[in-house]
Amino acid sequence: MKLILDTNAYSNMMRRHENVVRVIGSATQIYLPAPVVGELFFGFQMGNQSQQNHQQLQQFLDHPLVEFSATDELVCNRYALILSQLKKKGQPIPTNDIWIAAHALTLGADLLSSDDHFSCIDGLSWLKP
């Protein structure tokens, strides 16, 4: 299973939440999209263990099954489609989460997140731990 992690999934993995660790452990490929890395960097800067958190993230990204997912033109196009669909439905969600969903749909990966608003995105395979 290809899996993309939302920020809360990465954080819960680092806190060793059993369900999250189990799902991540069954993945054959794990993606960490640019918006998630940006949110993590922000959290690290706001905390008092910034250097340690950056090192742990780098170790995770260095794992052979883990890949950083950059925002390319295909992801940008998917973002526009999702945003358009959500506006038509009158169901806004946070902008970064639209970007994260765009990465998941572009990569054909299941999204692991505890955020319920992902359920309103057409075609998204969303796993709630």
Q: How far apart are CA 101 and CA 109, in angstroms?
A: 10
**pLDDT (0 to 100) of residue 22:** 97
Provide, rounded to the nearest whole percent, the portion of the chain with pLDDT above 70.
100
Top CATH class of 2-127 equals alpha beta
The set of residues, in sequence order, having a beta carbon less than 8 Å from that of 96 and lying 6+ positions away, is 35, 38, 39
Of the candidates 63, 51, 49, 121, the one whose C-alpha atom is nearest the C-alpha of residue 87 is: 121
Q: What are phi and psi of 105, to 5 degrees?
A: -65, -40
Question: How is residue 47 annotated by DSSP?
Answer: S
Residues 72-93, mean pLDDT to the nearest whole number = 97
Token pair recorded at residue 2: 């290809």
The set of residues, in sequence order, having a beta carbon less than 8 Å from that of 67 and lying 6+ positions away, is 29, 30, 31, 32
pLDDT in tens, 22-76: 999 999 999 999 999 999 999 999 999 999 999 999 999 999 999 999 999 999 9
Per-residue confidence band for 106, with pLDDT thresholds at 50, 70 and 90:
very high
**pLDDT (0 to 100) of residue 101:** 98
**pLDDT (0 to 100) of residue 69:** 98
